[in-house]
Structure 1
């Protein structure tokens, strides 16, 4: 049992690219990212009938190899998740910890990446639809991209606020559809004959796309359309501003976490090799660049030196 537990811990550290397994973890990440990109390119090319017929066997072999690797990765991550700090802190059995992991965003993305192919192998379903679903594997890059993880966390943190903003947009969409229907349905019954039909114009106007295939032609309709356009410019900016602000806040928090870690690791105004190795692991997990990390270390060392030595005489107080 101890051997199995140690093996599980080693594999967990490798997947997390931490400690002495950092290099092995980096290599594994690069290999999986390359496999994902190859899959995306293959799925796109497979949609071309001539290419799909000519290289049918190659595409099928690639799919078999890919689904096998992704399935093994998912199973191993599920098995080793109990040794991660985030899930080890959960009280209860390992089964409970694994259930928490299964419903985490990144685990769900991993499951979505393999589920369409598994369904294709075991059930007779529309292959064209399943092939398109396989493109969802591109979301697996979220696990290996720190920027994508920041964006995902921004969505999670601002979830309730974004829902409120989209609810308001839905209300405005309905009001705009009803208004343009009342003003234009007599003049253009083919385009504004019903409120659902008018929603196409309202959606294109509210998103500031304005395709121009459906437009009001009466003076009052044009005035109403102009008002909706002005309102939409502010409405669309709300979710964008929220995400931009949350993304910036996530970056600031990660920098602050690293600075606090540097402050705690400094001993007698210096950092040992062990401390630097620990900070390098933390830098990678937080997705900070080496330039940002070195700047934070330099700032913290300078601040500690100012407290350790007298500014006037240069001696320890």
Structure 2
């Protein structure tokens, strides 16, 4: 397996600890990452529980546990810096910044009289290490294929989003004016065109919060048309991406049969599936 370029070149304790902390090939490395994931999940649960009013009496215990976990994350971060070849490069990398933000606000924000909950949730990003722990490299390859398909479909997706934006703008503007005709009953909800565009987005995506509803007959007709339009458009982006994935993963077929011109011959076929004649004469 290809090692990290940050792995120390000289053998010794730094290389051994680097393999444990940054790799999951050995049992020690695997258990280290599993323990780290458990600590991350525990810290996220603690931050979430601090916001529940029913558990206000446990606030001090939650804060204490959170600080203990933040201390463990601090030790982990220092160990990562000590076991890489270029500590500064790791510190300014994406994962290095995420590691710092996962524990530093816990110690700084209370001194400023603010809550660190919003920063602590950045630890959820570190749960992506589960791909390494579970050895799901195949899944990572599939994710790369999906990202590549989305990128190749970007022009079609941009055109699609532009059409949706135009539809939202037109329907929102129409709904605003229709609901304000002659002091209509629903004019109090459609207070502005942006408000009406918000309603159009909620309606087109078939979410339907119900906080803003049309009252006029014509407004209800536009609402129904927008819902049907949303149903027909919601599958369009997935179609673009699916077509690109199929084009990327499909294997080329053999040339057509020279006798019956049947296409779609398997790559390793020797005889035509339709007429049975030899393909390669």
Same fold (TM over 0.5): yes
TM-score scaled to structure 2, two decimals?
Answer: 0.64
Tell me how far 1:59 sits from its aligned partner: 1.8
1:210 partner SS: coil
Report how many residues are paired: 230
1:134 partner SS: helix
Tell me how far 1:166 sits from its aligned partner: 5.0
The RMSD of aligned alpha carbons is: 3.9
Q: Look at both structures and tell me which one has the larger radius of gyration over its CA atoms.
A: 2
When structure 1 is superposed on structure 2, of 238-247 and 110-119 the one drifting more is 238-247
Q: Contact (CA 8 Å) 1:33, 1:141: kept in 2 or not?
A: yes
Aligned counterpart, 1:59: 62
Tell me how far 1:171 sits from its aligned partner: 4.2
Please give the per-residue CA displacement for 1:264-313, whole angstroms capped at 9, x wherever unaligned.
Answer: xxxxxxxxxxxxxxxxxxxxxxxxxxxxxxxxxxxxxxxxxxxxxxxxxx
Q: For structure 2, which runs of at least 5 residues remain unmatched after alignment?
A: 1-7, 250-281
- Equivalent residue in structure 2 for 1:123, among 100, 112, 118: 112
Aligned counterpart, 2:123: 137
Separation (CA, whole Å) in 1 of partners of 2:16 and 2:213: 63
- Equivalent residue in structure 2 for 1:183, among 178, 181, 202: 178
Separation (CA, whole Å) in 2 of partners of 1:214 and 1:37: 38
- Asked if 1:70 corresponds to 2:73, the answer is yes
- Asked if 1:9 corresponds to 2:1, the answer is no
1:225 partner SS: helix
Separation (CA, whole Å) in 1 of partners of 2:191 and 2:84: 56
Q: Contact (CA 8 Å) 2:70, 2:106: kept in 1 or not?
A: yes
Please give the per-residue CA displacement for 1:113-158, whole angstroms capped at 9, x wherever unaligned.
Answer: 2343244144222x2xx32442342232112236796797578654
2:187 partner SS: coil
Q: 1:112 to 1:97 in 2, by over 3 A?
A: closer
Q: 1:51 to 1:235 in 2, by over 3 A?
A: same
Equivalent positions of 1:24-39 (< 5 A) are 24-39=28-43
1:51 partner SS: helix
- Equivalent residue in structure 1 for 2:234, among 209, 233, 236: 236
Q: Which one has a larger percent helix, Structure 1 or Structure 2?
A: 1
Q: Contact (CA 8 Å) 1:18, 1:25: kept in 2 or not?
A: yes
TM-score scaled to structure 1, two decimals?
Answer: 0.58
Please give the per-residue CA displacement for 1:32-90, whole angstroms capped at 9, x wherever unaligned.
Answer: 1111222222222222345233x3342222122211222332343355454xxxxxxxx
Q: Contact (CA 8 Å) 1:151, 1:247: kept in 2 or not?
A: no
